[in-house]
Structure 1
Amino acid sequence: MEILVASEAGTLHALTLDDDLTPTSSQRLDRAEFAGFAASVEAERPRWVWADTAALYPELLRAGVRVQRCLDLRLCHVILRHAAPESFDAADAWDVPLLPEVDAVPSLLDDLEDMARLGDVGPDDLLAERVRQRDVLATVADPGRLRFLLAAESAGALIAAEIAHDGLPWDLGAHDAILTDVLGPRPRPGSRPRRLEELARQIQEQLSAPRLNPDSPVDLLRTLRRSGLDVKSTSKWELRELQHPVVEPLLEYKRLARLLSANGWTWMDTWVRPGTDGRRGRFFPDYVPGGVVTGRWATSGGGALQLPKQIRAAVRADPGWRLVVADVAQIEPRVLAAMSRDDALAAASRGADLYQGLVDTGIVDTRAHAKVAMLGALYGATTGEAGHLMPRLLRAYPRATGLVEDAARTGERGGVVHTWLGRTSPPPPAAWRETQGLATQPDAGESAERRARQQARDWGRFTRNFVVQGTAAEWALVWMAQIRLRLADLTDLTDTADRPHLVYFLHDEVIVHTPARLAEAVAEAIGDASAEAGRLLFGGFGVEFPLDVAVVEHYGEAE
C-alpha cells in the first residue's frame, strides 16, 4: 500500500493508492492532524510517497512518529532524469540540476547546484509525477536495480532527517577545554586567542613586517614575496617546500586558525544546543542526501562531513549510553572487485586489510605501494610512483582495472557511465563538446588539439572514479538502511527514550548512540548489516566488507 501525501496552501491531502497507483481513498488533513493520521496507519507498513522528505518528515519526528519506508519523488526524479533523459521534457518543474552549467570539469565532490525545496505540490501533480516515474522505470534496461536505488535513496532521506532530529551528542565543556588547551582561553570578540597571537607575532618578526595580518592571503603573499620567497600561493603544500624559519610558525598558525574558524567557539555557539535533563548537548548535522554527483551526501551547514580529530573527544555519549563507531576498510577497491567480478582482487579483499592482501599475493612489495597503486587505478594516475606500479595491477587484476579503464575511455569520448545500481554520470557540458569539436576542424592549431586532449583526459578521470565512488555510496546507503532496520528490531520503534539510533554518517563510517546495555547487540547488528548490504548488491560474489567497530564513551577513543 502506498499513501501519497501532497501539500497545498497549508492543507495536506492523503491519497491511498492501490498496486496500479489508482487512488482508493482520499482525505484532507490539517497540519495538526498529520502526525496522528500517520501514527494510526503506520502499523500497516505503507510506503509514504511525498515530494520531499525534508519538507514533511520533520513534522512527524517532532510529534514522535517515525515511518519505516518512503519514496522521495524529488530525489528519485534526479536519478531518473539522468538515467532516461529522453523520457523528460527539456524543462521540467521537478528538475534539480545535477551540475552547474560551467566550463570546468566537475569534481566528484561538487554539490548539486540547487537543493531548494519544491514547496507546495498539489495532489494531482504529485500523483502525475509518481505515475511518470513508474512509467520511466519500465523503459530502462535494468529496472530492478534502478528501483532498488530509488528505495535506498529514499531510505537515506529518512535517515538524514532522523539524524537531524536526534542530533549528535556533544559535550560543550569538553569542546571548550580542547579549544582552551590548544588555542588559549576564549578571547574577547574581535581578538585572536593567545596562541594565535603569539604565532602572529613570530611570523611578523620573521618577515620583518610588524603590521602583517596572517589571516589575509593577499597581504601574506605580498609579504612573502617581498621577503625574497618565490611563492605563487599561500597554500600549505607550497609553503612546506620553502626553506625559511617562518614556515613552521606560519603552518602552525594556519592549522590553528582553521580549527578556530571551522569548529571554534563561534561554531559551538551556532551549531551545538546545550543539553537538558541530564543529556549532553546536541550538534544537529544538516545532511543533503544525494547532494554530490556520485550520490554521496553533502551538508548545507555545520561541516558535519569534516569533524577534525582534534575535537572528536567532544562527541560524547549521554550518561549510561555509549557510542558504537564503525567504519569499513578500503570500501572503493572492494566495491571495484565486486562490480568487475574480479576473483583475484576479491581474494585479496578477504581480510581486514585489502592493501596487505596485495602484498601477500606478491603484486607489490609494501602496503604503502599497494595503496598508491590502487588509488592510481581508481583516479587514473599515469605518472610518478602510481604510474610505475600500474602495469602490475593491470596484469594481476585485468577485470577490475579493465572496468575503470573502460569507464575512462567512455568519458573521454563524451559518453556517460553508470554505477552498479544505475546512477548515471552527467554528460559533459556544452563548452566541453565545443572544444572537442573545434579540435577536429581542418584548421585547428596544435594548442586547440592539446587543450581538447587534456579536457578529454580530465573527463575520463571523472567517469573512471564515478562508477566506483558512486557504487560505494550505494553500498553505504544500503548498509545504513539495514542498520536502521536492525536497530528498530532491538527496541520498540516508538520508544524514543531508550532507542539506539544513528547519529552520524561520513561516507564509510557511522556512529550509533545506544543505551550501554545494548551496545554489544548494536555492534553485532552493524556487522550483520554490512554483510547483508554486500549480499543485496552483489549476490554471493566473495568480496568481504570488514568493519572496524569500537564501543566508546567519546568519539576520540575510536581513533
Structure 2
Amino acid sequence: MDRIVLRRRGDVVEAWRCTGDATAAEVTRLPSDELPGWVRERERTPVRWVWDDTTRWYPALLDAGVRVERCTDLRLTHAVLRRSPFVDQWPLAGEDTPGWDDLQPVTTAEHALFPLADPADRLDPVAEHDRQQAALAASAERGRLALLLAAESSGALVAAEMTHAGLPWRADVHERLLTDALGPRPPAGVRPPVLERLAGEVRAALGAPGLNPDSAVELLRALQAAGLPVDDTRQWTLEQVDHAVVAPLLEYKKLARLLSAHGWSWLETWVRDGRFRSAFLPGGVVTGRWSAQGGGALSVPVAVRPAAVADDGWQLVVADVAQLEPRVLAGMSGDAAMAEAARSADLYQGMVAGGAVATRAEAKLGMLGAMYGGTRGESGRMLPRLARRYPRAIELVEEAARAGERGAVVSTLLGRGSPLPTGAWAQRGADLGEPPDDDGPREDRDRARRAWGRFTRNFVVQGTGAEWALCWLADLRNRLWRLGGGTPAQRPHLVFFLHDEVVVHTPEHLAADVTREVRAAAVTAGRLLFGGFPVDFPLDVAVVRSWADAG
C-alpha cells in the first residue's frame, strides 16, 4: 500500500510517495486547489495519507466531496508515542520535536486550504513520519501500539466526517420545546416568563424581594438569612432541606441551565441548514476519550433531544454498550470469572448470579469503587468480596493505584501512557519510593499520592475503554461505507459519538443492515483488543426517528 505524505509549501502542496526511504521518495507538486481532485484519483487504489493533522486537511477535502479511507495523523500519533512507556524517546528526537509537542488542532469553521500563519507549516511531516516509524519499529510492543495509532488516526477521520455531516436537528421542534418549558422568547436581557415567575416564588419564599437567583453569592446569603442550614447551593444540598423555597428554586436552576446551555442563543449559533455541527476532538482527554469544542456536543441534555430528528425517509440507529468499563477490565485482566458475569446483558446482574454479591446495587457500587478508588464506606465494604471472586481484575486496578502513588506511569492495554504527576513528592517518590521529609506536611503528601493513585486506577480502565470504542468506530465507519452507494451524504453515516454510544443517520431501508453492522463492529473491537478471550460487549440498539425515542 502506498503511503503519501502531504506537506504545504505556500500555495503548493507536496505529496511524497514513500517507499520506505524518504530520500528515494517520489515527489509530486500541485496547486492546493487541485488537491481534492488529485486525492480522489489516488483513492481508487489502496493508499494511506500521512499528514500533520487531520483537522487541517480533511474538512476541505470533505467539502469538495472527497472521502479518504485511511490516514496517519502525525499530531495525534506523536502525542501517543511521546507519552507511551512502550516507546524509547530517542528515535523521536528532532529539531522540530518541540513544535510537534505543541501543535494544536484547528477547530474553526473555515475549512479553506489552509489557515494563514499556521504553525504546522514550520514542521516537517516527512521527517516526523520517519521518526515515528523508527520508534514504532524499536518498540517491544509494536503490535499493540500500531493498532492504537491506526485507530486514533481513523478516529480523526470519523470526527471530521461527523462534523461535516452534522447531527440532524429540527429548529422548529427545538423552539417549541423551549417555549413549552420557558414560555415565549423574551427580549434580550429579560428572563423568559416561566423563569420570572419562579424567581418571584423564590424571592417570596425567602423574604428577599431584591434577590437575583442567578447569583450564587446572593442566593446563598438569602438561604442562610432565612435560617436554612446550607453551605452551598448545589442540588443535592438543597434536596436535604425541608423548606418552601426548595421546589421552585430547583425548578428555576434546571430551566436556567437549559436556557443558558441550549436556549435560543445556542440554536441560532450552532444549528444551520437543519444540522448541529460541533468540532469533535479525538484524544482530547488524557485517557484517550474524546472532547468537543462548540455547542456542548458531549452533553446534549435529554430535554432537547426530541429536536434531533432524522430526515424524511431516514432513521437514526442509536447504539450503546452496556457497562463498557467493567467489561474492558475483565478482558484486559483476563479474569475468567468476571468475563462469565459479562456474558449477561447486565454485567452487574451477572455478578449477582455468580455469587459475588447479593444485589445488583452492591455489584455496581463495588465495581465503581474498584475502578474509581471509592475504597471507603459501602463501596469499600464490597471490595473484599469482589477481590475474592474476581482476583485478577481487582489486582489490576490495585496495582495501577500503587504505581500512581509511587509517581510512576501506567498504561492502557494498547500503550497510551498516563501523564506524570506534578509535585516534588511524585518526582522523588518515583526514584526513591518515598517523598522527601521536607516536602510539606505528611498528610498533604499522602493525600496527593492517594488522589493520583485514584486517577491511575481509573486511567488504565477508562483509557482501554476508549481504545475499544476507537476500534468500534473505525470498523463501523468502513462497514457503513460499504452499505448503499452514492455520495457520503447518501449513505449511512455516523453523526454522533460519546464514549460508549453512537448515532448513525441511515436511509430507512438500510436500518436493519446498519443495526447488524453496528453489532458486528462491536464484536470485531473486542477481538482486536482481547483476541480469543471470551468477554462480551452487548449493545442496546434502537431504530428511531428522534434521538429522544431511543430511551
**TM-score, with normalisation over the residues of structure 1?**
0.92
What are structure 1's unaligned runs of at least 5 residues? 98-113, 275-280
Q: Are 2:88 and 2:135, in contact at CA under 8 Å, matched by a contact in 1?
A: no
The corresponding residue for 2:451 is 458
Q: Identify the residue that residue 278 of structure 1 maps to in structure 2.
A: none
1:143-166: CA deviation from partner (whole Å, max 9, x where unpaired): 111111010000000000000000
- What is residue 70 of structure 1 aligned with on the other side? 71
Q: CA deviation at 1:116?
A: 5.7
Given that 2:36 and 2:61 are in contact with CA atoms closer than 8 Å, whether structure 1 keeps it comes out as yes
- 1:138-177 maps to which residues of 2 (within 5 A)? 138-177=137-176
Structure 2 CA distance for aligned equivalents of residues 375 and 119 of structure 1? 44
Question: Using a 3 Å threshold, how does the CA distance of structure 1 residues 452 and 120 change in structure 2: closer, same or farther?
Answer: closer
1:503 aligns with 2:504: no
Name the stretch that deviates more: 171-180 or 391-400.
171-180
User: Which of 288, 305, 311 does residue 281 from structure 2 map onto?
Assistant: 288
Q: Which residue of 1 aligns with 2:112?
A: none
Instruction: State how many pairs are aligned.
Output: 534
Paired residues of 1:325 and 1:510 also in contact (CA < 8 A): yes
Counterparts in 2 of 1:124 and 1:304: CA distance versus 1, 3 Å: closer
| Deviation string, structure 1 residues 230-253 (Cα, Å, up to 9, x no partner) | 332222122222222111111111
Match of 2:50 in 1: 49
- Whether 2:546 is the aligned partner of 1:558: answer no
CA distance in 2, matches of 1:353, 1:441: 47
The more displaced of 447-456 and 464-473 is: 447-456
Q: Which amino acid aligns with 1:372?
A: L
SS in 2 for 1:95: helix
Give TM-score, length-normalised by structure 2.
0.93
Counterpart of 1:101 in structure 2 is none
Q: Secondary structure at the match of 1:44?
A: coil
Please name the residue that 2:134 is paired with. Answer: 135
Using the alignment, how far apart are the partners of 2:196 and 2:122 within structure 1?
Answer: 60
Partner Cα distance (1:336, 1:256) in 2 = 38
The amino acid of 1:180's aligned partner reads T
Residue 484 of structure 1 deviates from its aligned partner by 0.6
Pairwise mapping of residues 424-503 of structure 1 onto structure 2 (< 5 A)? 424-433=417-426, 440-441=435-436, 448-492=441-485, 494-503=486-495
Quick one: which of 294, 301, 313 aligns to 1:320? 313
Question: In structure 1, how many angstroms separate the alpha carbons of the residues matched to 2:410 and 2:237?
Answer: 35
User: In 2, are the aligned partners of 1:439 and 1:452 still within 8 Å (CA)?
Assistant: no
Secondary structure in 2 matching 1:490: coil
Instruction: Tell me if structure 1 keeps the 8 A contact 2:310–2:545.
Output: yes
Displacement, 1:431?
Answer: 4.8
Task: Give 1:145-294 correspondences, 5 Å limit.
Answer: 145-274=144-273, 281-294=274-287
Query: In 2 relative to 1, CA 431–249 (structure 1 residues): closer, same or farther, beyond 3 Å?
Result: farther
User: CA 1:440 to 1:329, structure 2 compared with 1: closer, same or farther past 3 Å?
Assistant: closer
* Matched residue, 1:92: 98
CA distance in 2, matches of 1:544, 1:145: 20
Deviation at 1:337, TM superposition (A): 0.2
Note the C-alpha offset of 1:139.
2.9
Give, in angstroms, the shift of residue 415 of structure 1. Answer: 0.3
Find out whether 1:398 has 2:391 as its counterpart: yes
Q: Return the alpha-carbon distance in structure 1 between the equivalents of residues 152 and 498 of structure 2.
A: 16
Matches within 5 A, 1:12-31: 12-31=13-32
Q: How far 1:381 sits from its partner (Å)?
A: 1.2
In structure 2, C-alpha distance between the alignment counterparts of 1:373 and 1:438, rounded to whole Å: 29
Distance 1:396 1:358 in 2: 9
Counterparts of 2:223 and 2:205, CA distance in 1? 10
Distance 1:518 1:442, change over 3 A: closer
Structure 1 residue 375 displacement after superposition: 0.5
1:259-310 per-residue CA deviation (whole Å, 9 max, x = no partner) reads 1111111101100013xxxxxx100121111000000000111111001111
Which of residues 349, 358, 366 is equivalent to 1:365?
358
Question: 1:536 is paired with a residue of what secondary structure?
Answer: helix
The answer (yes or no) to whether the contact 1:8–1:120 under 8 Å persists in 2 is no
What root-mean-square deviation, in Å, do the aligned CA atoms of Structure 1 and Structure 2 show?
A: 2.0
Change (3 A) 1:59 1:184: same
Contact 2:7 2:13 in 1 (8 A): yes
In structure 1, the partner of 2:114 is none
Identical columns (%)? 53
Report if aligned partners of 2:165, 2:489 keep a CA contact under 8 Å in 1. Answer: no
Unaligned runs of 5+ in 2: 108-116
Q: Distance in 2 between matches of 1:248 and 1:73?
A: 52
* CA distance, structure 2, for counterparts of residue 122 and residue 255 of structure 1: 46
Per the alignment, in what secondary structure is the counterpart of residue 548 of structure 1?
Answer: strand
